[in-house]
Amino acid sequence: MRLPFKFLFLMGAVLVASPLAADAQEKVTVATEASFPPFSKTEADGSFTGFEIDLGNEVCKRAKLDCEWVKQDFDGMIAALIARKFNMVFSSMSIKPEREKVADFSIPYYAGKFVFYGKKGAFKNFDEDIKGKRVGVYAGATQDQYVRKYHAGVLEPVGYENADQIHADLVNGRIDLAFGEQQPAIEFMNSPQGKDFEQAGPLIDDPEVLGRGVGAMFNKGDALKAKVDEAIRNVYADGTFDKLQAKWLAGANIRADQLW
């Protein structure tokens, strides 16, 4: 029996299209602060670079996701995710119980420590020298909560939307200290802008307040979580994580696989 030409044409179209459909990648928008070097930074041409950008791109590739990065200030990131302005946050978001009530997290993809930093020589006796001082933190974030819990009545936390604002006021003397993740603090202190500043006090690791590592964040029940979890494991397993860590954070160890 001869089949009609129209039927043969449609069958051919299906056969040609099927492999393409099988290879099609899910389009996903991914939020980054893009002002938190060496994890993320906005370049002069508007592109994003940094450890998290490279790592996120590797995760997307392995999860077969077509990812588009979008910039979002950290203080509004969770609300914007819940409002579905993007599909995933990949921006140094600490995994904490109160956040897990409103969103899902991937397994941790890095785990860092925190530091205070201020003018060189100004905080040799840390516990005494911080009394009455103003410290820049991300407004309402884990750093803010830590200062309020352990240094209430001693330090005055001043909230900001991003690290650029904190560092600008630190340099201009509007605040006395900053408190944040170790690697971005080192990046700042190694820059011409931060040459007059140093770490104040010890390294801080407090999972109860500061979180148990950093993870990608999704809306509740999003199937992306399982894909991203598997991709993170693959990035660690094939040595890619270590290569990116060496590229962007030479000498550091922020591996998080011990938390899985």
Report pLDDT for 14. Answer: 40
Cα radius of gyration (the chain)? 22
Question: Judging by DSSP bridges, how do beta strands 40-42 and 48-49 pair with one another?
Answer: antiparallel
Backbone dihedral region for residue 129 (phi beyond 0: left; psi -120 to 50: alpha; all else: beta): alpha
Q: Into how many domains does the chain fold?
A: 2
Instruction: Answer yes or no: is pLDDT of 93 > 90.
Output: yes
**Residue closest to 116 by CA, chosen among 107, 124, 108, 104:** 124
Name the residue with higher pLDDT: 7 or 88.
Answer: 88
Residue 31's DSSP bridge partners are 70, 89
Instruction: Answer yes or no: is pLDDT of 18 > 80.
Output: no
Are 76 and 227 within 8 A, CB to CB?
no
Regarding whether 167 and 142 lie in a shared domain, the answer is yes
- Domain for residue 157, yes or no? yes
Report pLDDT for 24. Answer: 65
Regarding whether 216 and 90 lie in a shared domain, the answer is yes
Domain-terminating residue out of 171, 186, 210: 210
Report pLDDT for 25. Answer: 77
- Domain for residue 239, yes or no? yes
Instruction: Answer yes or no: is pLDDT of 7 > 60.
Output: no
Instruction: Answer yes or no: is pLDDT of 21 > 50.
Output: no
Q: What is the pLDDT of residues 31-63, one digit of tens each?
A: 999 999 999 999 999 999 999 999 999 999 999
- Domain for residue 218, yes or no? yes
Of 22-36, 114-128, 231-245, the range with the lowest mean pLDDT is 22-36
- Domain for residue 7, yes or no? no
Give the mean pLDDT of the chain. Answer: 91
Please enumerate in sequence order all residues whose Cβ is within 8 A of that of 253, keeping only pairs 6 or more positions apart, or say none: 245
pLDDT-derived band at 4, boundaries 50, 70, 90: very low
Regarding whether 90 and 105 lie in a shared domain, the answer is yes
- The CATH number linked to 201 is 3.40.190.10
Per-residue pLDDT, averaged over 238-259, amounts to: 96
Q: What is the pTM of this model?
A: 0.83
Q: What is the pLDDT of residues 60-86, one digit of tens each?
A: 999 999 999 999 999 899 999 999 999
Residue 78 C-alpha from the chain's centroid:
12
Regarding whether 119 and 96 lie in a shared domain, the answer is no
Report pLDDT for 46. Answer: 96
> Residue 83: which domain range?
25-111+212-259
